[in-house]
Structure 1
Amino acid sequence: MKKIIFKEYFFATIGALLTAFGLAVFLMPHDIACGGANGLAIVLNSVIHVPVGILMYGVNIILFILSFIFIGKEFGAKSIYCTFILNFFVDMFDRILPIPKYTGNDMFLAVFFGVVISAAGMAITFSQNASTGGTDIIAKIFNKYFGLSLGIGLLMSDLIIGLLAGIAYDPTVGMYSIVSVIINGLTVDFIIRGITTDVTMMIISEKKKEILEYILKDLDRGASLINAEGAYSGQKKQFIYVALSRREKNEMIHKIQSIDPDAFITVQPISTVIGYGFKNFKQVI
């Protein structure tokens, strides 16, 4: 259990580090607010001229207070940790141990690389059942009191921050900020699907005992035998039904090929598996 917790915090920290790098190197030098507490901090920076990293601490503290008042204690220790470690990394890259920034005139390159890098970091953090706080909290408040879905609430709050960036700086910055919000959402969704999508497999084989032995002993997975009947032949058959990770899927196919090259296999991607060896209810609710 301790190894699992360490792994989750380790990868969540790597995700926060990547997110901070994309923000500090590419987005912040061009005042591009791609939503979240960091986007709001970039907008506020134009008014009160306090370092963005410091403003992120303030924004997130206020948002967490609002979450405790209007939502309840739904944000776990991991999300609080990720929120403030992200703030720390942003402040470190920007002020404490400043690193070279992209200051070229091509705003598109700044948006593209900044959003892709930071979105990859966010996706890694989200895949560890953690959150970076920020507008996630606003989206939950919209969901609870106005019935908006979390996705729509998050998009609305981030788009408002993009519009505020246009007012605070200039319309071009505002438009690029809105574009960055859209690209960020699509990128996070694409990467999370690649990281977390599991599969189910249905296997029909004359050598099901050998295949089941591999599943149960080598992969340490459970499986079910389901009775079926061939529509053409009328023969009684059994097929194996098993849920696997994407990595295990490839191992499984190679193993079946060596056991029974004539086996019939179907593979179906699925977004969530709850149970032994996969996620538990707390990770998906």
Structure 2
Amino acid sequence: MKYLTHHYFLITCGSFIQGMAMSLFLFPHSIPSGGAAGIAVLLNYWFGIPLSFALWFVNFSLLVLAIYWLGNSSAIGTMYAITITSISVHLFSMDLFVHYSNIWLDLFIGSVTLGIGVGILLRQKVSNGGMGVLALIIAVHRNSSPGKPLLLLNGLIFILTGSIIHWPIVFQAILLQFGSTKIVDIVYNLKLIPKIPKITPPVVWRKK
């Protein structure tokens, strides 16, 4: 029970940080945070499928893969993470929070913040949704960091989307993925300080 509470506390923190990065630093400049959104845009462009349904369809399909390859607990954790991320995006979209206008500063801060949030989630063997599911499957089965496959998958989708629809925002999205996945690997491989064992004072025998 204690492990489960700690597990979901970290998922909540990672999801909250991820949503904050999206809402405060990326979405004000229309910079997509992942490849699932890119696929949804292509489905809308090619087949006229509404973006909301296309995004749901892509994430649902990837969640099926998560259940098959990673197990029910990872899929449930991913659904929980997606929900908390959506709540966080909604909260930080309020007028109470300041949205800066410098796109390059926001891109840098957003990359670092998003990488921290996603890295925390992947450390818990939970995906942040979208291509994070495939990256986590690759990382788990190859016993490697998920940053490189995540960058490759998202980068390929962004390049495809940009070549078909519009380049400038996609170029910024690729820079975002490059920076954030570097942070993902740092957080994922972070060696936490081990607990210091309790030291029992030695028993001193006095000669009588």
Tell me which of the two structures has the higher relative contact order, counting C-alpha pairs closer than 8 angstroms and 6 or more residues apart. Answer: 2
Cα distance in 2, alignment partners of residues 110 and 182 from structure 1: 15
Any idea what SS the aligned residue of 1:73 has? helix
Whether 1:84 and 2:79 are equivalent positions in the alignment is: yes
Partner of 1:210: none
Aligned with residue 150 of structure 2, among 148, 154, 165: 154
Q: Which runs of 5+ in 1 are unaligned?
A: 144-148, 198-244, 260-285
Q: Determine which structure has the larger helix proportion and give its number.
A: 2
Q: Structure 2 vs 1, CA of residues 23 and 78 (structure 1 numbering), >3 Å: closer, same or farther?
A: farther
Cα 1:161–1:110 shift into 2, 3 Å: farther
8 A Cα contact 2:122 2:136, kept in partner: no
Residue correspondence of structure 1 range 1-285 to structure 2 within 5 A? 2-38=1-37, 40-41=39-40, 50=51, 56-65=55-64, 67=65, 73-94=68-89, 98-100=93-95, 103-139=99-135, 153-167=149-163, 170-194=166-190, 197=191, 246-248=193-195, 251=196
The alignment of Structure 1 onto Structure 2 pairs a total of residues equal to: 192
Indicate if the aligned counterparts of 2:24 and 2:93 stay in contact, CA closer than 8 A. Answer: no
Q: 1:40 to 1:27 in 2, by over 3 A?
A: farther
Tell me if structure 2 keeps the 8 A contact 1:34–1:161: no
Q: Deviations over 1:186-215 (max 9, x none)?
A: 011112233xx2xxxxxxxxxxxxxxxxxx
Give the structure with higher Rg (CA).
1
What's the C-alpha RMSD, in Å, of the aligned pairs? 3.8
Q: Which moved more, 1:112-121 or 1:27-36?
A: 27-36
Structure 1 distance, partners of 2:147, 2:183, is 14
Amino acid at match of 2:156: I
Distance apart, 1:178 and its partner CA: 0.8
The structure in which a higher percent of residues are strand is 1
Q: So what's the TM-score if we normalise by structure 2?
A: 0.70
The alpha-carbon distance between structure 1 residues 44 and 134, as it changes in their structure 2 partners (threshold 3 A), is same
Describe the shift of the 1:161–1:106 C-alpha distance in structure 2 as closer, same or farther (beyond 3 A).
farther
Query: Where do 5+ consecutive residues of structure 2 fail to align?
Result: 140-144, 203-208
Contact 2:11-2:81 within 8 A present in 1 as well: no
Q: Separation in 1 of the partners of 2:116 and 2:37?
A: 16
Q: TM-score, normalised by structure 1?
A: 0.54
Amino acid of the residue matched to residue 80 of structure 1? A
